[in-house]
Amino acid sequence: MTAVDHARWGFTASTGLAFTRVDIVDAHFDACLTTYLDLLRRFGVRPGWHVLDAGAGGGRFLPYLADLVGPAGRLSALDLAAENVALVRERWASLAVLDDVRQGDVTALPYPDDMFDAAWCANTVQYLDDDALRRALAELRRVVRPGGLVGVKDLDASTITARPGPPFLFADFFRAAASRSAYARNLLRGRDLYRFLREAGLSEVRQHTLLAEHFAPFGEAERSFYGQSCASLAAQAGYDPDWRVMRDPDDPAHPLNAPDGYFAEGAVLAVGTV
């Protein structure tokens, strides 16, 4: 995947990866909080565990992971972007169980074998092609002890939709984009994660897919994320008349401004045991 590809999608952090800038990531997290936390609870973290948040971003999952591991547990966090590492250290300095925050790559984790009871990797593998995903899963499996858990959460872009509007607007966009964009192809891979975990040698693999549904009137986080995201996709859609209203979140015809407006997207969690 090229830098040009990522730049086309926008919201890049220092890594050059699309949709990794902390403001858009935070808006997405807040908009989908209920769904995210439901999947986190399904992961299976237990009190007293040492858990790695691999690809932590700004660390928004960390306080919820801290609640799960309890005061006897420990958390470690890793992210590719140096500014995210600095932000996590500042933002979550009060988390007593967070004892290690470092910069690193999920395909080459800087930890010894069997160090963790579980590894959580959320909204990160969408930036990895299939071979890199296999390397990342091998690394996550390596650093988790036998009997521990590896959990990978990501988006399923095939489920994205908005109303009022053409029912297949987003599906047709991503299907077309996948022919020219590796990032789009990865965003459509969410339902296949269980197969990659099985291939990686993890056992007892299970997968959960939840639909995050949003109804008008929309909150600030929903308006921020879906307004900016729709504008980014509309810019790629060019002169397609069906995308015209998506360019401006203040357009009265935008779904964000409809009294019966609706947005939905799927979130997938695949979990395996080492």
Each residue's pLDDT tens digit, 25-50: 999 999 999 999 999 999 999 999 99
122 contacts 153 by C-beta, under 8 angstroms: yes
Mean pLDDT score of the chain: 96
Asked if pLDDT for residue 2 goes beyond 90, the answer is no
Q: Which residues pair with 149 in a beta bridge?
A: 118, 273
| Residue 239: inside a domain | no
Handedness of CA 58, 63, 66, 71 (dihedral sign): positive
Mean pLDDT, residues 60-70: 98
Asked if pLDDT for residue 256 goes beyond 90, the answer is yes
Write phi, then psi, for 56 (nearest 5 degrees).
Answer: -75, -20
Torsion from C-alpha of 32, 183, 201, 141, nearest 10 degrees:
-70
Q: What is the pLDDT of residue 9?
A: 95
Say how many domains are in the chain. 1
| Residue 230: inside a domain | no
| Residue 68: inside a domain | yes
pTM: 0.96
Q: What CATH number is associated with residue 93?
A: 3.40.50.150
What band does 1 get if pLDDT is binned at 50, 70 and 90?
A: very low
| Residue 75: inside a domain | yes
| Residue 218: inside a domain | no
Mean pLDDT, residues 121-146: 98
| Residue 229: inside a domain | no
CA distance 124 to 104: 13
Adjacency order of strands within the sheet including 144-163: 98-103, 74-79, 50-54, 116-122, 144-163, 262-273, 203-215
Each residue's pLDDT tens digit, 143-192: 999 999 999 999 999 999 999 999 999 999 999 999 999 999 999 999 99
Instruction: Please report, for the chain, how many H helices and E strands are present, in that order.
Output: 10, 7
| Residue 153: inside a domain | yes
| Residue 46: inside a domain | yes
Domain that holds residue 149: 3-157+181-213+267-273
H or E stretch at 206: strand 203-215
Strand-pair category, 144-163 with 203-215: unpaired
